[in-house]
């Protein structure tokens, strides 16, 4: 009888430890996916803002008698800090 109790206790310890390991792996994966969805949300918002400014610039540059007056760059790099338009009307 005692040998059966030992086997049962051993199987219970193995079952609980394997359950904890699997639960930890699932928690780690879930945290990883939720963190990545937050990154996707911020990247999507940035892309939406970029599309808005591009649409505005295209609209302004295609208007009749509008022209780009000057484009200022940031410290000699290719990054644009400001664009000014003039209207001949």
pLDDT tens digit sequence for 8-49: 888 889 999 999 999 999 999 988 888 777 777 666 677 777
State residue 86's pLDDT score: 76
- Count: domains in the chain: 1
Q: What residue numbers bound the domain in which 53 lies? A: 2-87
- Global model pTM greater than 0.95: no
Contacts for 49 with CB less than 8 Å, ≥ 6 apart: none
Contacts for 51 with CB less than 8 Å, ≥ 6 apart: none
């Amino acid at each position: 009888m005692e040998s059966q109790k030992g086997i049962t206790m051993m199987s219970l310890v193995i079952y609980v430890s394997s359950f904890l390991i699997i639960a930890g792996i699932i928690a780690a994966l879930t945290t990883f996916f939720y963190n990545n969805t937050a990154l996707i949300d911020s990247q999507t918002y940035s892309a939406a803002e970029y599309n808005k400014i591009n649409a505005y610039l295209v609209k302004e540059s295609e208007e009749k008698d509008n022209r780009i007056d000057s484009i200022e760059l940031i410290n000699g790099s290719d990054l644009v800090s400001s664009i000014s338009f003039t209207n001949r009307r």
